[in-house]
Chain A
């Protein structure tokens, strides 16, 4: 199932993945082949079949509204690439 360069670019944008021209073309080829293989699922007529979102029939797993200790701030920021004054720093939107 061939997908176009534009489609790949659109998906890459949604996924926030930078792709060079070369990477884009390689990705397009590989995705086309993979989509061809997985697109097989469309062969089956499953109009009346319910989807399975979970392997188990669990429902109503809820927790009591009782607080647990939060992380000390140093730990919360321990792995932060750009901490500032207790905040996580990022470039502006």
Chain B
């Protein structure tokens, strides 16, 4: 496996959470009764015409900027022609060779960080939803009938295509995680794979390091980041096996079956579909002017990738990643603003449930203090959002570290538990927890656990 390099490119679709569909003003929605969010346009009635959603265009530009893309001076919608029940016009309005955003780059920060080229980001409409029914007559045959719900049809989709710059399933997972967070923080999509508002296909090939590209497989139908990672691995393994056996890898599309860890060929066709792209004659080009692009750029928040890079200086890359991607960042920022050092703040926010809107300065004082009882810190945390919260009463609750107080207590506990003592001395070092626990119980949680631990260990090892 180490002699081979995996080459991965991703194709990501995100539903834009605009109020209306891409080319008609039906409300977008999820989970509504079938065919209640439709109109003649998205049902492709005769004589209907598309009118593009301005917000969808603006959000795509915003996303393109966040991905470091160049915004096209002139973008064109194209028709992609094919027949399927979820495609009512018999063509999908999409973008072909003049998309809205091109040539970007996305940085996944860290020591083992990397950069992924973004080929393009473009705007299109989603297909409707088809439900396949099983055959009747008591036999389980292939579906004989399908039911179509056009509610989803026409929802704006942004499609992002990466360069084949990813080199492992784990890289892909991290890239997707950060990309997803970026998209969500831009406020343009909920980007949830379980809900279908984020979809991702992978193009996978392998090669010997230094070689050009070999034939790739397209993988579809993976609806979680971990399935995508596993699908990539499965594909890479299978291709390596073929190459090493001297067999040909044929360009194919596969569905990844996570339950069985297998790749099954995607719907088989005798011939590849010819989409006969041509410029959509019912729509005029979009030429984003400088004002539109500047406005979008001004609306960009500090993106998660940049914040991870920033926090890495104080916390290191790994912890910075964890902080930003688990959504604990604002709490760390609050504590640091309140006077706490970043490292301590990190430990606290990752291990505690800090309520919303606490008094950061006072809470920082609590966390900065040493030798408080565990109970005191917990209680302070819980109360930190209460009006009038101060650190003072909690700072008084120092844990007992006075060995002269603790030693007699420990001696008594050891004497009362000879069996455990013997077991510990016989090798069961995990039992230290038992003794610490007993002592904490007896002191009502007020003993300093570190000191306890040291003392107990000393005595047991004596």
Which A residues lie at the B interface, using CB under 8 A? 10, 13-14, 16, 53-54, 56, 58-68, 70-71, 73, 76-77, 84-93
Contact = CB atoms under 8 A, between A and B. Distances in A.
Tell me whether chain B's interface is mostly helix, strand or loop, or mixed: loop
A62 B53 contact: yes
Interface of B: 18-20, 25-27, 33-40, 43, 51-57, 74, 76, 83-85, 131-133, 142-150, 267, 271, 274, 276, 279, 281, 283-287
Given A87-B34, A88-B148, A92-B146, A14 B274 contact: yes
A66 B55 CA distance: 10
Nearest to B275: A14
Contacts of A87: 34-35, 131, 147-149
Contacts of B25: 63, 66-68
A60 B51 CA distance: 11
A91 B19 CA distance: 33
Contacts of A93: 84-85, 132, 143, 146, 267
Given A61-B52, A63-B51, A87-B34, 19 more contacts: A53-B76, A62-B52, A62-B286, A63-B53, A63-B54, A65-B53, A65-B55, A66-B25, A67-B25, A71-B39, A71-B43, A73-B36, A86-B34, A88-B35, A89-B146, A89-B147, A92-B133, A93-B85, A93-B146
Q: 6 closest pairs, A vs B, by CB?
A: A87-B147, A62-B54, A65-B55, A68-B25, A67-B27, A58-B284
Given A65-B20, A66-B20, A71-B38, A84 B144 contact: no
A53 B146 CA distance: 37
Contacts of B271: 10, 13
Nearest to B148: A88
A59 B286 contact: yes
23 contacts: A53-B281, A59-B284, A59-B286, A60-B287, A61-B52, A62-B51, A63-B25, A63-B53, A66-B25, A67-B19, A67-B25, A67-B27, A68-B25, A68-B26, A71-B38, A76-B150, A86-B35, A87-B35, A89-B146, A91-B145, A92-B142, A92-B146, A93-B132
Contacts of B283: 61
Given A14-B276, A92-B132, A67 B20 contact: yes
A60 B74 CA distance: 10
Given A67-B19, A86-B34, A92 B144 contact: yes
B26 A70 contact: yes
